[in-house]
Chains A and B, each alone.
Chain A
Amino acid sequence: MNSTQQTARVGLFFLLGIALVWVTFETLSDGKIFEPRSHTLIAGFDDLRQLKTGDEVRLAGVRVGSVQKTRLAGRHAEAVLEIDPKVPIAGDATATIAMSGLIGGNYVAIDMGTPGAPALADGAEIKTLTTPDLNTLMSDIGGLGKQLQESLGTFSAAINGDPKTGGGIIQKLEKILADNTARLNATMTNLQEITDKINRGDGTLGKLVNDPKLHDELLATVDEIKATATQAKEFVANAQSVMDQVKSGQGALGTLVYDPKAAADIKASIADLRSVSDKLAKGEGTLGKLINDDGLYDSAQVTIKKVDRTLDGLNDSGPITAVGIVANALF
């Protein structure tokens, strides 16, 4: 191989290597030599558990930063979070330490907070919430298992019981069965008889089960009930319609109920009626006197009697008197 070929191969190899370095750089770092400047938030917790530097910070499950460092601050621990400056964190957002897997990985989970809430400034403290970790959960589950075991023990004791006090539930049930075997047999025999009768079609229940006519009648009755219910529905619908019309002030009743002018007129009429009735009661006016004054009644009776007698006289004198009256009147 001559020197030129060797140089060309080395050059090609080198350029290919540089190209691959560039591809790797673009793929892994998105073409950024330096990490964009991030802003920090402080998250205080009672216990950081296994959270460590470099663990992820996720906003609604999306990686937006990492834990820059962890430190003690008085009586609690703090995690300094590096957040992508392009991602605003709401002022009322809450940070919790969450588990990313069962092998001990943790991350800081931040929720979205309230829409429109002002974003936290660089170096601000974010609200935190302590959630139970795996150890606490396992401890709780252990306690739960213990309680379950105790409950099962109690249940088992109730089932088995103490032989001195007559045994447990099962033993007592066995005793009840043994003591009442005859009654139970009689009850079973009665039940057998009843079912036999039903099968034969005896009695109401038997006919209902076995007689197709009764079945048809029952169906007809049900149909009638359905029709009645339909009519009742229509009636209710009509009544509802009437009520709607009344409510909307339509018709006489609607006007009466909802028209203020009509109401005022009715009130005035009632007041007038009251005034008239008061006057009648007091004996004022002609009608009042007519009702209350006995003298007027007596006078009227006398007058009526007189008129009666006059009419009787007229009847007796007959048409002559009538002609005479007419003649007198004419001449």
Chain B
Amino acid sequence: MLSRVADSLYWMSRYLERAEHATRLLDVNLNLMLDESAASADRRWLRVLQALGNPRGVFWKGDPYALTRELALDTGNKGSIVSCIINARENSRHVREQISTEQWHQLNTLYLQMTRPELQAHLMSDMMMSSDDLIGFLQLVMEAVHQFQGVSDSTMRHGEGWQFIQVGRYIERAEATALLVAAYHEDLWGHPDAATESNEYLDWMGLLRSATAFEAYCKVYTADLVPDKILEFLLLDEEFPHSLRFSIDSLQHALEAIQRVSGKTRAEPLRKLAGKLQATLSYSSVDEILERDLIAYLREIQVQCREIHEMIYELYVDYSIQAALAG
């Protein structure tokens, strides 16, 4: 497979995962804030910004809908949902002949819907009506991205290209989950007395729902939202698709599949790097993690994800010609 193609598929997938995550985060928080006093809005939305990695140039100014518009629809903001969709579609356009027609339809249709000038104008206006539509819009994006994933799994050959899509998705998801947990941890674990009891329940629920984990958590631990259990679930659960461990396991599987196609010996350093991360997650317990500095732990995971990303590039995309000729 061409390096450029791998690069495009990887980023197409990352951008879609990013869009999906941001969409869910906004949707969940717009919903939960309705049950809450206006006083706690500041904390909630600052936390949202932090979970999104504090996008440059976006600030909390007291209006959740205005913030949502900025994070969802502002094409000037590189991290906005619409920018992610545009970028994902642009990457897919570059590899149009590599993905299935169904995948292209799905993504192209979403792109055309999102960039319609009327829609942009309508949603950007300040009217009450448009705030309701904003929520409908977020749901539309989420559904479309889910459908794209379904279509990808069922119409594309699960060869190297598909594996690069998995790599992009899970590396993005792992980083996002780490960032999300970190944002909540600093806020909730850090100041246990700052929240009232009912608020606290909503906040924990918000955390779980932001990772589509609420229902899955309840099945395992019942609806008692216990902070340590939540942490255990989001970080270490083996079977939940948004947990950190699941993401890294899937990432490692995809990388191994790619290595089988493209030659094993070259990829040894990458296998070690991803394997090390996988092992620490597989054999840790939540108590161990909490005994130490959780924030530092999560930061370390993000650093390792970035190292894996760089190694992927060095091996498959941006390698030097001399090295390739010698190998």
Q: Do they bind each other?
A: no
Q: Which residues from chain A sit less than 8 Å from chain B, CB to CB?
A: none
Q: Which residues from chain B sit less than 8 Å from chain A, CB to CB?
A: none
